[in-house]
Chains A and B, each alone.
Chain A
Amino acid sequence: MNRVLVLGNGPTAHHFADRLRQHGHEGPLTLLGTEPGATHHQAFLDALLAPADLQLPPPPGLDVRTDTRVVAIDRAQRRVRALVGEAETVFPYDTLVLALEARPLLPRLPGIAAPDGRLGPGVVVPRTAADRERISGESAVVLGGGPQAVEIASALAARGTRTTLVCERPHPLEERLGETCAAWLAERLERAGVTVLGGRTAVRRTPGRLHLDDGTVLPADTLVLCPSVVPDLELAVAARLLTDSGIVVDAQLRSSDPHVHAIGPGVEHEGRATEGPAAALEQADTLARILTGRGGTYRAAPPVLRLRIRAADVCHIGTPADFDGPDTRLVTLTDPKERRYARLALRGERVVGAVLFGLPGAIAPIVRSHRLSQQLPYDLVGLLLGWPPRSASDAAEPEARSLVCLCNSVTETALRQAWQAGARTVPALATATRVTTGCGGCGERVRELCAAWAPGRHTELKDAA
């Protein structure tokens, strides 16, 4: 009997536990909250985007201990020591899964903390769906310049909240997207109802207000802080598991102790930290399959930032290093009028990095071909601008290509011959060639041909000439 113990009570842990059961794990499965207090199975943004009447409960049947605080992992004895209330309790395991959410680094901003040290009313550090309850009032300020801040500001505005996004750089996401795209993004956010204030910092929170360094005072019934986050590595370090930027795992998502696995934001695989919620989901899925004997290996998806906002289609692929390798070519296309932009880092016929803005039809295939390391089409401009495909270059079957009626394989030549033999109406042509008798989609085309071939029309054309 494999006793699986999960440290963590956030979306990654819940997702993993749900999948493990789905894949047939019948043994004990317990989730321990590493710090007291209930957390939630859904990410904050998911909960924010969904209508209010669509808040899903956690997966049923999970054995979750929310009133615990994990003290230590005892790898030698394969057990975890935790405080349940005041009492120390020991949880033995056969397999331990660390599924810890990242920890936000709170900014030093006067007025955000209540006297007891907790966040004051109306101040939100968005982590899970439970934090959604902290949003109140008619105005909100989102503080931060990263993807999370942009996505949350956009979702708040869509809910009808008067929303301001405040960031230190002139425009949000500028270091990833570059000046042009970041400016366009700010413009699109403004159009979607988000007031964007770049180049400012917040200096103080007072009830219902946020004060900026330039003296601006913003209405802020809710203040959403989107600070940078760090993985929660204390327990892993104390247990002397191999860690770097996160807990180091192999393709089986195993840590340096084969009985301890790790998934989620605190994990490093092949030198790279887990980035984004999709990667955490994939790790949870993969580990659930591995632990139920379904096989599988984890391969990290390449780093892709694809904003979940409706205001603009924005995508960033790769790391800064991907854009300036010695054998990398950079291709940039700017269409200021339509607000379309593409910057591709190419190695051979493959894309290794990209910034894409306003190109929804190109983002999808480029992300996929990057993910699978596939070659790009030769017609790169057509791909980026969404031009229709070129027609096939040669005419190996010209007859087939002049088909008027696919259902009955009737070519224009055959129709002309029937016409010359006396079939001068659509029904007569139908009788002679079966044109129009299948799906009927060619009816219009046959009427046009009849009109074009009609003697009267020839006369008119002649007269006109």
Chain B
Amino acid sequence: MSELGPPLREVATHCPYCALQCGTRLAGDRETGVVVRPDDFPVNRGRLCQKGWTAPAVLSATDRLTRPLVRRRDGRLAEASWDVALERVAGELRRIRAEHGPDGVAVFGGGGLTNEKAYLLGKFARLALGTSQIDYNGRFCMSSAAAAGNAAFGVDRGLPFPVTDLQGARTVLLAGANVAETMPPLMQHLDGAELIVMDPRRTASAQRAALHLQPAPGTDLALALGLFHIAAVDGLLDRNYIQDRTRGFEAALRRAMDWWPERVEAVTGIPASDQRAAVHMLARAGGAYVLTGRGVEQHSTGTDTVAGFINLALALGLPGRAGSGYGCLTGQGNGQGGREHGQKADQLPGYRSITDPAARAHVAAVWGVAPQELPGPGRSAYELLDALGGDRGPRALLVFGSNPAVSAPHSTRVTERLAALDLLVVADFVPSETARLADVVLPVTQWAEEEGTLTNLEGRVLRRRARLSPPGQVRSDLQVLHELAVRLGEPASRYPTVPQEVFDELRAASRGGRADYAGISYERLDAGESLHWPCPDTPDPHPGTPRLFLDRFEHPDGRARFAAVDHQGPAEELNPHYPLHATTGRVLAHYQSGAQTRRVAELNDAVPGPFVEMHPDTALRSGVSDAGLARVISARGSMTARVRVDPTMRLDTVFAPFHFPGEGRANLFTHPALDPHSGMPSFKVCAVRVEPVSGVAP
């Protein structure tokens, strides 16, 4: 408790950033300034990282959008009234739809949107626009883990157990996850365990590990297969579990048997003895968890790679047992809820498939339309962006809660496609790089100005609460969707603007789906209940499901599935022109495209601009020096960044964070090869070379 005593009228809510959704309490107001303090919530237990502590600064960002902006004839964005802005959007949408059909208009959502917004956005796209062309930035985040999790377990919930369960573990494998930087408060749950960290870089998490496996980028699946191989050959399999609770073991093992440790060593660069040590640590008594992050997921082989780690966990009998398990560490604030309620190209609310006739019938009934009125599946995120303004691609795009000009792969191409549109509409609260390209910018509320729910990485549904009223003419995304829908001829009652009403409709739409929210209500959440989905609507209130799979997996036969995956190598091999691997990722001080965190002075001071990390020998051989400027060049484009030499880097690998705009966009060089199952681009590996930037003094 602070020395000033408890502030008055604190509001209990959650941090606006990552999927941990740390509990926070907000005091103060716009005049005196909003003050945040960490709450004693299970995931963060009184802790916060620097992003969380400084989150209120985004509320008073000096360039906060407070009035709609419309691009004038002279090419400049100018303030306009809501009526003018919305009429412009609706008019253009009507024209484009008439000329190009409903798929002429596309929607791009975000994993930071509340459940209510994500749900209403999906409904708006399918009904008001009638378009199949909707996807979201979660495709760049969670999609590989989601696809692999669904295939293995019959359902995709990032963690099928509460994070507090990790406290009891003896060993935790973090495969491509840098928790110490991306989710610092989670580390307290890992204090009791010995960590095995698999990461091409010696990250803050790797420094805390008992064993650091440092594979060459793009070889994670070979490693996963090798670990499975060792488990089998060293007699560490849980044979009873495999027999009673799984299917597909032999076919999967047959692939893994080709990956003996010494072969894996030559491909990954990880000593065979370290591979054996890792498996034996995971197999010993005392409980083990295998957790994956973006490092293994953001590949054109991401789904197979995650499946490789799930195979390992299944072979050791970890999932679906108290005290052990497999999970994926969801990234974005509402990365979990955001992928359940219909802003994905192939999904309807409740984590239903848009191609499943029963699912279509259920949702259509809730929406009061005929099933055949619902469009089918659309393009996945990068395919959608890639098609914009093209011959058969959409002519208009509405963006909510995303900044694809920075966060999508192959930025040059994406920026070019955005420019080719007849109409780009961006709803945001700050002028993001994508908003600056827009024809119409709609100012919307942010976290502390709105009510709603989010679903954190544990599948726990949380209440976001307002501390402030929105500034200026800012409206909520729900209001914007309502206004646009009405202008497009939809009945007003179909698009409620009160979050709780939207949530109640979401409950009905999700009823009976994989992610069933029917038994969750604002009342129950506000009464302090801890509710993890699935939580069906039952006569006695259902207690929610903190732990999945204890009795059975979600496939009809109750069994988990091994996947017969194999390592094929990255989409882009090294070659004499591009002799280095480049990998991209995150730093502690910034979040996603940095549109929010770059506006917080304290965070910007911590990491003020783009950098590229490399081994000192790599720097020397590339002719660049520490703190000097370098260009990182791929066959697609180049970024400019300040060099940071780090002797713990692999010699063949450079790293750049993707949080920065303009010439500092790491996505200028990334490879857009897509995972065939998930649509995930290859953010984590491509081939580059590094050159000094001539004529610029460091």
Contacts and interface: CB of A to CB of B under 8 A. Distances in A.
Contacts of B191: 440
Interface in A399-454: 406-409, 431, 434, 437-441
B588 interface: yes
B648 A396 contact: no
Nearest to B191: A440
Given A56-B250, A437-B47, A377 B617 contact: yes
Contacts of A59: 251, 254
A440 B626 contact: no
A152 B588 CA distance: 50
B683 to A, nearest CB: 22
Nearest to A49: B233
B1 to A, nearest CB: 10
Contacts of B48: 434, 437-438
A438 B184 contact: yes
A18 B254 contact: yes
Contact of B232 (A50, A278, A392): A50
Interface string B188-205: 100100000000000010
A447 to B, nearest CB: 15
A308 interface: yes
A183 interface: no
B2 interface: yes
A400 to B, nearest CB: 9
B258 interface: yes
Which range contains the number of B residues in contact with the other chain? 35 or more
Interface stretch (B166-174, B265-273, B340-348, B526-534): B265-273
B232 A408 contact: no
B204 A406 contact: yes
Contacts of B647: 389-392
B449 interface: no
Given A42-B257, A56-B250, A396-B626, A437 B38 contact: yes
Contact of B651 (A49, A278, A364, A374): A374
B266 A392 contact: no
Interface in B200-258: 204, 208, 216, 232-233, 235, 237, 239, 250-251, 253-254, 257-258
A364 B180 CA distance: 27
Given A278-B263, A360-B273, A438 B616 contact: no
A336 interface: no
B615 interface: yes
Nearest to A405: B50
A368 interface: yes
A284 to B, nearest CB: 9
A271 interface: no
A377 B651 contact: yes
> Which of B186, B235, B269 has the most CB atoms of chain A within a 10 A radius of its CB?
B269
B233 A50 contact: yes
Interface in A375-407: 375, 377-379, 389-394, 396-397, 406-407
B240 to A, nearest CB: 12
Interface residues of A, number: 55
A438 B182 CA distance: 11
A361 to B, nearest CB: 6
Contacts of B645: 392-394
B187 interface: yes
B646 A378 contact: no
Contacts of B269: 364-365, 368
Contacts of B151: none
Given A281-B258, A438-B184, A313 B272 contact: yes
B271 A364 contact: yes
Contact of A306 (B49, B204, B266, B617): B266
A392 B626 contact: yes
B72 interface: no
Nearest to A403: B606
Contacts of B235: 51
Contacts, number: 151
A407 B50 contact: yes
A369 B47 CA distance: 43
A396 to B, nearest CB: 4
Contact of A409 (B589, B648, B651): B589
Nearest to A434: B53
Interface in B155-186: 180-181, 184-186
Nearest to A281: B258
Contacts of A278: 263, 266
A438 B47 contact: yes
A215 B148 CA distance: 62
Contacts of B615: 377
B579 interface: yes
A438 B254 contact: no
B260 A46 contact: yes
A87 interface: no
A345 B510 CA distance: 65
A389 B620 CA distance: 16
B588 A15 contact: no
Interface string B575-610: 000010000000011000000000000100110000
A363 interface: yes
A434 B50 contact: yes
A260 B477 CA distance: 64
A86 interface: no
A363 B265 contact: yes
B437 to A, nearest CB: 32
B78 interface: no
B185 A439 contact: yes
Contacts of B626: 392-394, 396
A389 B650 CA distance: 10
A54 B237 CA distance: 10
Nearest to B235: A51
A134 interface: no
A180 B457 CA distance: 56
Contacts of A372: 574, 652
A330 interface: no
B490 interface: no
Nearest to B257: A46
B627 interface: yes
A304 interface: yes
Contact of A360 (B271, B574, B605, B648): B271
Interface in B252-288: 253-254, 257-258, 260-263, 265-274
Contacts of A374: 579, 651-652
A53 interface: yes
Given A389-B648, A439-B187, A378 B49 contact: no
A96 B239 CA distance: 40
A393 B620 CA distance: 12
Contact of B180 (A363, A377, A439): A439
B562 to A, nearest CB: 13
B239 A53 contact: yes
Contacts of A364: 265-266, 268-272
Contacts of B233: 49-51, 54
B675 to A, nearest CB: 16
Contacts of A49: 233
28 contacts: A46-B260, A50-B257, A54-B237, A57-B250, A306-B262, A306-B265, A308-B261, A313-B272, A363-B265, A364-B265, A364-B269, A364-B270, A367-B266, A368-B216, A368-B266, A372-B574, A372-B652, A379-B617, A392-B645, A396-B627, A406-B588, A407-B180, A407-B588, A408-B53, A409-B605, A437-B46, A439-B49, A441-B208
Given A46-B257, A360-B274, A407-B588, 15 more contacts: A42-B257, A46-B260, A54-B237, A57-B250, A308-B260, A313-B271, A364-B269, A364-B270, A367-B266, A368-B268, A368-B269, A406-B180, A407-B50, A409-B602, A439-B47
Q: Which 6 A-B pairs give the minimum distances between C-beta atoms?
A: A439-B187, A389-B647, A438-B184, A439-B184, A396-B627, A407-B184
Interface of A: 15, 18, 22, 42, 46, 49-51, 53-54, 56-57, 59, 278, 281, 301, 304, 306-308, 313, 360-361, 363-365, 367-369, 371-372, 374-375, 377-379, 389-394, 396-397, 406-409, 431, 434, 437-441
